[in-house]
Amino acid sequence: MPQTATDVVIIGGSTAALRAAETVTRQAPELDVTIISEEAHLPYELPPLSKIPLKDHVDIESLVYPVARELREKGVHYRLGERATAIDPARRVVTTDTGQVRYRAAIITTGCEPIVPPMFRGQQDVYVLRRFDDSVALRQAVEDRQRSVAIVGAGFIGGEFASTLISDGRKVSLIDLSVHPLIRFGEEVSGVYEELHRYKGVATFFGVGATGTIERDGSRFLQLSDGREVAADVIVVGVGVRPAVSWLGSSGIPLDNGIVADEYLHTVEGVFAAGDAVCWPNARFNATMRIEHWTTAAEQGRGAGLNAVKYLKDEPLVPFVNVPFFWSDQHGQRVQWAGHQLGGEQVVFNRNEGGELFLFRKGDLVTGVLAFERRQEFVQLRAKLRQPLAWDVALGIASGFESTAREVPVP
């Protein structure tokens, strides 16, 4: 089996991989860097895939990060369309489906893979939306406006694509097993989210599961657990993801709800990890967490890249600490969250003409903020959350909160 060598090998072609390579190259330009990615494309932006209007052409070249091309020009080696099948930390070798790469430090950024329920496997016109090729295929499937679309899973990806379809004048059904989508943030947040979709004309079926499909009169229907049927010529599955770690089974790298890393994003000797599949202790909230959002993946990529360089230079590693953040654009509104739910928080809610704002409070500290619009206040509160945020300080930022806020329950 052919073997090559590199200083730093990065497994995965995600945003985390790109930021790791960028950081290594900036911190230590003398190091040789290799990126191994299953995808045929240079690293590209994922968030727009569920948001680009249907009338717009999806162009991979416009999504590829400019820095990805710059890094190639600077000597970063891309092994595209190549899948890592094993890593041996003792020998410092990554095995792929075409050869082996010997390394001095490794960064794993393989992220997560979509969960597809057995009832949908092997069926025609069933799609997930995780990669560029998924987006192209899905858009081709819905080009015919007469084709019905059912989205299974009312999380952010499902909600975003429902918004994209409705804005193009299409009919869409949104199905979720939970009676209240986003219930982890509380019933009031869930209620605002449901109201947003229903007001825009999305047909919602919440609190029911999909049990199978049936063909009738040339059309397909999704059968629901309450006996109803939903037109579903095209089915989009967004019921969740799982860490893509099966290839690490014999590596000796600890696995538990993903890749277990320490506060430096270090797993076993010489191997770091970043992105959606990583569990690590976040000192900002004194909690171990695994975050499946773009911003954290990018920040972790930088952190893992920095520590890989420091490891090779035998310098002290730097703890990775961050405030988890995500955003979602749906029906012309931006939904944003920053912080971490520790459990047992009080949630205080305020609505005005600018949107809805939720503050998650534990004792005298704010642990998180969620906003539908209210962008200026959210930006200020998110910045303050980098340090422990006192309740009275948060109230000074949230306009009108003291006079109109009310406490709402959270599970």
The whole-angstrom separation of Cα 340 and Cα 288 is 11
Which CATH fold topology does 3-113+241-312 show? FAD/NAD(P)-binding domain (3.50.50)
- CATH for the 332-408 domain, from 2.60.120.260, 3.30.413.10, 3.30.390.30, 3.40.50.460: 3.30.390.30
Q: What is the pLDDT of residue 1?
A: 60
Q: What is the pLDDT of residue 403?
A: 47
Domain positions in the chain = 3-113+241-312, 116-237, 332-408
What average pLDDT score do residues 311-326 get?
96
The CATH classification number of 116-237 equals 3.50.50.60
Q: Which residue is it, tokens 């009080």?
A: 346
The fraction of the chain above a pLDDT of 70, given in percent, is 97
**Closest to 196 in 3D by CA, of 23, 371, 33, 372:** 372
Q: What is the pLDDT of residue 401?
A: 66
Domains 3-113+241-312 and 116-237 share a fold: yes
Q: Which comes out higher in pLDDT, residue 48 or 345?
A: 345
Q: What is the pLDDT of residue 82?
A: 95
386-392, long-range: CB < 8 A, 24+ apart:
386/284, 386/323, 389/365, 390/364, 390/365, 390/366, 391/361, 391/364, 391/365, 391/366, 392/364
Q: Which comes out higher in pLDDT, residue 403 or 369?
A: 369
**Closest to 160 in 3D by CA, of 326, 331, 296, 338:** 331
Q: What angle do CA 239, 245, 250 make, to 5 degrees?
A: 150
pLDDT tens for each residue of 320-375? 999 999 999 989 899 999 999 887 888 888 888 888 999 998 889 999 999 999 99
Strand bridging mode 241-243 / 112-114: antiparallel
pLDDT tens for each residue of 153-185? 988 888 988 998 888 888 899 999 999 888 888
| Confidence class for position 143, pLDDT limits 50, 70, 90 | confident
pLDDT tens for each residue of 14-47? 899 999 999 999 999 999 999 999 999 999 888 7
The whole-angstrom separation of Cα 95 and Cα 111 is 18
Q: Report CA 48 to chain centroid distance, whole Å.
A: 12
Q: What is the pLDDT of residue 48?
A: 76
Evaluate the CA torsion angle 200, 201, 206, 209 in order and state its sign: negative
For residue 2, is pLDDT > 80? no
pLDDT tens for each residue of 207-265? 999 999 999 888 899 999 999 999 999 999 988 899 999 999 899 999 999 999 999 99
For residue 3, is pLDDT > 80? no
pLDDT tens for each residue of 25-34? 999 999 999 9
Establish how many alpha carbons lie within 13 A of residue 401's alpha carbon, considering only the half-sphere containing its beta carbon. 19
Q: What is the pLDDT of residue 225?
A: 94
Q: What is the pLDDT of residue 74?
A: 92
> What is the average pLDDT score of the chain?
90
